């Protein structure tokens, strides 16, 4: 995996931070975000972030709040700074001074099965259809789809090896028969086009030596949704949400779904129970079991 390498010269502190992130196999996107967020603190201080005091961190977070920085952004900055102070500086006492804010999670947008089918059929080429089918059929994050290699398709065990998951974690995702058939079709076409190689990317970008970008995958989903006349606001993650919700509605145990999604915590997966409308409809209300209110029978004559 190619990790983030910055142009020289690089300060010893910055290089140490990069080395710490590389050692933990952080994705390129995560590394960029952490460097940016730690840079916010340095800009606020007007000096190196390793000189920050507990009072500096308090004033920094108060200013962020007063400036109207969204709560999710503030929490992302906290994650970056906690890593910096705990792992790079060995100052867990400062990391504990950083406050994460609670915020209500919006319910995810979920497509119906018919909408998913329409969206996949509205793609403009086989590569795009295969990439979006992986996102829905295996429940992968957009960055995970982007970073798949041909060798990650394990047709013997019917698994997709996800080596670059969130937080650098490895896991196995499901590979269905229909998805394998589609990927084999794409392999054949990609070989004919000269862009597919056995040791290469499953979904090459504009240059075969680089993977398709997450930004391009986002555009593909948006354009397919528009072509399919889907009014909902969708992105690649919508397909992952739909994967989880449809499995839950089909009666799949939520802990199995947790493993398939690669969630570290069950409460992340439990969010889908709130949008699984089919599951709600199949539950019998305790009021109905009382039998107090029977529907009136129609009279014989009308």
**Catalytic residue ranges:** 141, 166, 237, 240, 263, 272
The CA distance from 189 to 250, in Å, is 34
Q: Quick one: which of 38, 123, 126 has its CA closest to 82?
A: 38
Q: Where are the beta strands (DSSP E) in the chain?
A: 153-154, 159-162, 171-174
SS3 103: coil
Which backbone phi and psi does 5 adopt, to 5 degrees?
-120, 125
Token pair for 69: 């920085």
Q: Where are the beta strands (DSSP E) in 147-213?
A: 153-154, 159-162, 171-174
Torsion over CA: 69, 271, 259, 230 (sign) = negative
Q: Quick one: which of 129, 290, 151 has its CA closest to 221?
A: 129
Q: Which residue has the tokens 């507990």?
A: 54
Query: 155: exposed, middle or buried (C-beta count within 10 Å: 0-12, 13-18, 19+)?
Result: exposed
The CA distance from 302 to 58, in Å, is 75
CB 48 within 8 A of CB 88: no
SS3 301: coil
Query: Element (H or E) spanning 71, and its range?
Result: helix 71-83
């Amino acid at each position: 995996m190619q990790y983030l390498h910055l142009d020289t010269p690089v300060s010893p502190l910055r290089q140490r931070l990069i080395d710490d992130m590389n050692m933990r196999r952080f994705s390129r996107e995560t590394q960029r975000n952490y460097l940016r967020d730690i840079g916010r603190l340095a800009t606020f201080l007007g000096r190196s972030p390793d000189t920050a005091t507990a009072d500096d961190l308090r004033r920094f977070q108060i200013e962020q709040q007063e400036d109207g920085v969204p709560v999710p952004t503030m929490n992302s900055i906290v994650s970056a700074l906690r890593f910096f102070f705990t792992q790079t500086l060995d100052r867990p006492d400062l990391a504990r001074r950083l406050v994460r804010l609670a915020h209500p999670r919006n319910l995810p947008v979920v497509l119906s099965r018919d909408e998913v089918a329409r969206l996949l059929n509205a793609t403009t080429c086989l590569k795009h259809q295969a990439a979006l089918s992986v996102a829905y059929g295996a429940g992968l994050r957009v960055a995970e789809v982007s970073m798949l290699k041909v060798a990650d398709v394990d047709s013997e065990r019917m698994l997709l090896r996800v080596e670059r998951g969130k937080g650098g974690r490895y896991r196995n995702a499901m590979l269905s028969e229909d998805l394998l058939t589609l990927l084999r079709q794409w392999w054949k076409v990609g070989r004919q086009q000269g862009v597919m190689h056995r040791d290469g990317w499953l979904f090459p970008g504009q240059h075969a030596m680089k993977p398709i970008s997450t930004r391009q995958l986002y555009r593909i989903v948006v354009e397919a949704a528009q072509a399919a006349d889907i009014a909902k606001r969708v992105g690649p993650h919508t397909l992952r949400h739909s994967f989880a919700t449809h499995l839950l509605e089909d009666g799949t145990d939520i802990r199995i779904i947790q493993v398939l999604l690669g969630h570290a915590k069950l409460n992340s997966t439990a969010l889908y129970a709130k949008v699984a409308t089919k599951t709600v409809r199949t539950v019998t209300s305790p009021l109905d079991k009382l039998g107090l209110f029977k529907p009136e029978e129609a009279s014989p004559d009308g």
